[in-house]
Each structure stands twice: as structure tokens, then as C-alpha cells.
Amino acid sequence: MKKRFVFSILFLLVFSLAFTAAAKPTVVEFWPWWLGADRFQSYLNDQITEFEKQNPDIDVVMKNQQGDIVKKLMTSMAADEEPDVINLNFHKAYSVFTKGILEPIELQDPDAGKVYIDSLWDKVQFDGTYHYVFPWYASPAILYYNTEIFQEAGLDPSDPPETWDDMKDYGQQIVENTDKYAFGVDFAKAHYELTHRVGARLFTEDLSQAAFNTEKVANRLTYWNECYEEGIIPQGLPDYEGLQRMFESGKLAMLPIGVSLVSHIKNNTPKLFEKVEFAKYPVSPQGASKVQVSMMGLSVLTSSDAKEEAVKFAEFLTSPESQIEFSKLATILPSTKKGLSSDPFFQNYEERDNPKMAKAQLIADKTMADAASLIQTRAPAGWSEIKEVVRTQYVKAIKGEKPVKEALNYAETKVNELIKEYE
């Protein structure tokens, strides 16, 4: 009798321990990147709390990262301490994908892409079959313009330019009537700014040859050359930081750039912020029709022991509802088909503490359906050298140091030679 009692106790103990082990939640480790600010951590903590409430069998452990996240990921993998979900931009996500360590999303959820803007979802189909990134928060480009310079030039601040042809027309009037430059773009990234934006390609699909020597690219280079010759754009062709400084110092009338700069101007140059208004990014029916959007994303690692749970969390955090809430804290946009215009917070932007910032986001939101990441992901070996050849020849054409067609022919020949050399 005593033995039976002891056996029963042992059985219940073992059963209890087994049940406890079975009931233990699955842990998903999440690495956000450069989101250590208090308001972002608070937002992420709230999102994780809500996710865990809806999924009591999953615990999310967040470890915010800064610096070189790819290097940290590689180090963590060597120590078998990598995360399940990682936050990367497009460029770094593709770099990590080439190492074969990102999980194809469709293997866990074949319908995952339905909520995201098509052009952004298409961009992360790195191998032509599967997608490897859940699109997260985005920063599309809009047009910033200084209403004081507009008035000085005799332009109506309530009627901003809509196309690149308008930009040039407005620019001519600004140059004639003020001592300011009209606008500029970052030609440090000319290889995609003057190629992908006009709907052309740098390379053929199989990356075996250059593909940028087209009429579309030639027309775009001619446009910029004319702007350069007429003094409409800064003669030094400054990069992103240089253009930003010129705009903030009142030396540049218009700046087509990402919406995330809005909060920077508000916080660092409040007097200028009072003079700045926003409009949709200029496009043109014939060429230059793509709106650049910088975007972050979430990826799941193939080494994860909790792929199903990791995908579920990534889908939750990149859902329209979660992204719209995030947009209330920062000048970013959701990467989902359901955008800011669906939310009363933004519909009634004039009631907000910072109505101008919310207005800028709404303007950007209207461009998201046409937005695309123009940043090169797939490229041949020797990409750094190839990129510099293209940029150098584009700039020579813009400055008039070479005829447009001559610059394109030279760049095409040189790039094809480099592709073969690096094969």
C-alpha cells in the first residue's frame, strides 16, 4: 500500500513537471535597430505586451541594437546566440540574404504579403521565388519648399510644382529674381537616382550586361545638364548633407527628400520650419515617375527554433494597425496598403500638437501607392567599382564635361568590361 502511494506521488510529480515544461512559452528574441529612444522603446514594449496578451504561448525578448548590426549578427551566430527576428534596411537585408541565413516567408505563411504595398513587397523577393523581409516603417520622399523664397521670386506659395518640368520652370523664376538656388538632388547616388527613378535598369536581369544606356536615362541627364547650365541647381552638386545645410540656411528654395527630415527641421531650425511647406514629390509622365522610399524591415533567421512564432510576431509588428500607431510617434509611413488617411488621428491633423508634421505625413501617404525602393540590391561582382564608373560619367554629363551620349557609351563599355573581368 505504501509503495503504491509513493508511486502515485512520483507519477503526479513527473506528470506535473511534464505539464509545466509543455506549458512553458516559446521565446522569440527580437533585435530592433537604432530604436533605443524612450518613446520608441515604450511603443515597442506596448506592442510586445499586446502581442503576448494575444499569444500567451509566446514570450518576446527585445534587445535593441546600434552600430554595425550585420557584424553583430555574424558574431552572435558564431556563438549560437543569434535572434529569431531582426530589423534591417533593404540593403543590409539583401546582404544577409546572400549569406543564406534568412528564412523564406512563404514557407511559414503563403499569404503574408497581402497587406503590404505591392512595390515594396515585390522588392524583397530577392531570389525571384520567395520573399525575405516583412516591410516595416518607411520614409518616402516629399517636396519641401521655402514660402519666403517663393514670395521673393514672385511665386504663389499655395501653388507648388507638381512635375519636374514645373520644377525647372519655377527654378528659372527663382534664379532670375533671387540670389538662391532652386533645388537639387543627391548625385552621390546618381547611379540609381538617374536610372531607376525613370524606370530604367542598371543591368540586365541576369546581371551579365549594362542596361542603362537608354533614351530615358539620356533624357534625364539632359534635363539635369540644362538645370546645371542655367544655374538652377547648386554648381558643386552637393550630397544629401550639403543640400540639407543649404536648405536650412535659406540658400535653397526647394528640397525633394525624405519625409523623416521634417522633425529634424522642426527641432533644429524652428524659424525655418515656420516658413516651410510641403507638397507631393514631383513626378513626370514621361520619365522620372518613381518616388523613392527608404524602408526598414523585419526578417526571420533560418536558424531560429521558433520560426512559426517569429513570423507571427513580425506580422503583428508590421500590421497596418501597429504601423499606424508607430507613425504617430515619428515622421514615418506604414508600408501597408492601409495607410494614415484611414486613421482619425491623421484625418484631423489640424487638431494635433504638431499639425504641420502630420500634414507632411499625409502628403507622403498619398504617394505611397507609387513608392518604390530604388536602391540597388542585386548587382554583379565588382559593384563598388562599377557604381563609381556610372556615377562619374553621369556627373560629367550633367556638368557638360562630356556630351550625354558619349558619357553613356563610355560608361556602358567600361561596365561591361568590369562585369567580364569579375566573372
- Judge if 271 and 405 occupy the same domain: yes
Other C-beta atoms closer than 10 Å to the C-beta of 347 total 13
Out of 95-104, 261-270, 316-325, 412-421, pick the least confident.
261-270
Segment 243-254, tens digit of pLDDT = 999 999 999 999
- Judge if 336 and 381 occupy the same domain: no
Cα-atom radius of gyration of the chain, to the nearest Å?
Answer: 25
List residues bridging with 115 in a β-sheet: none
Would you put residue 305 in left (φ > 0), alpha (ψ -120 to 50) or beta? alpha
| Cα 161 from Cα 361, distance rounded (Å) | 18
Place of cell 507638397: 279
Out of 72-86, 117-131, 158-172, pick the least confident.
117-131
Out of 161-175, 312-326, 353-367, pick the least confident.
353-367
Predicted confidence (pLDDT) at residue 284 exceeds the cutoff of 80: no
- State the pLDDT at residue 54: 98
DSSP-assigned states of every residue in 295-318:
EEEEEEBTT-S-HHHHHHHHHHHT
Q: Which domain holds residue 127?
A: 26-139+293-364
- Judge if 233 and 381 occupy the same domain: yes
**Mean pLDDT, range 101-128, rounded to an integer:** 93
- State the pLDDT at residue 189: 80
- Residue 78 grid coordinates: 558564431
| Cα 131 from Cα 314, distance rounded (Å) | 13
Domain with residue 258: its CATH number is 3.40.190.10
Out of 16-30, 60-74, 99-113, 311-325, pick the least confident.
16-30
**Structural domains counted in the chain:** 2
Segment 152-203, tens digit of pLDDT = 999 999 999 999 999 999 999 999 999 999 999 998 888 878 888 888 889 9
DSSP-assigned states of every residue in 78-113:
HTT---SEEEEEHHHHHHHHTTT-B--GGGT-TTGG
| Cα 254 from Cα 324, distance rounded (Å) | 28
**Mean pLDDT, range 102-130, rounded to an integer:** 93
- Judge if 268 and 283 occupy the same domain: yes
- Judge if 416 and 322 occupy the same domain: no
- State the pLDDT at residue 355: 87
Residue 15 inside a domain? The answer is: no
Percentage of the chain with pLDDT > 70?
92
- Judge if 161 and 275 occupy the same domain: yes
Residues near 372 by beta carbon (within 8 Å), at least 6 away in sequence: 119, 120, 123, 196, 290, 291, 292, 293
- Judge if 84 and 193 occupy the same domain: no
- State the pLDDT at residue 285: 60
Nearest-5° angle of CA 252, CA 256, CA 257?
110
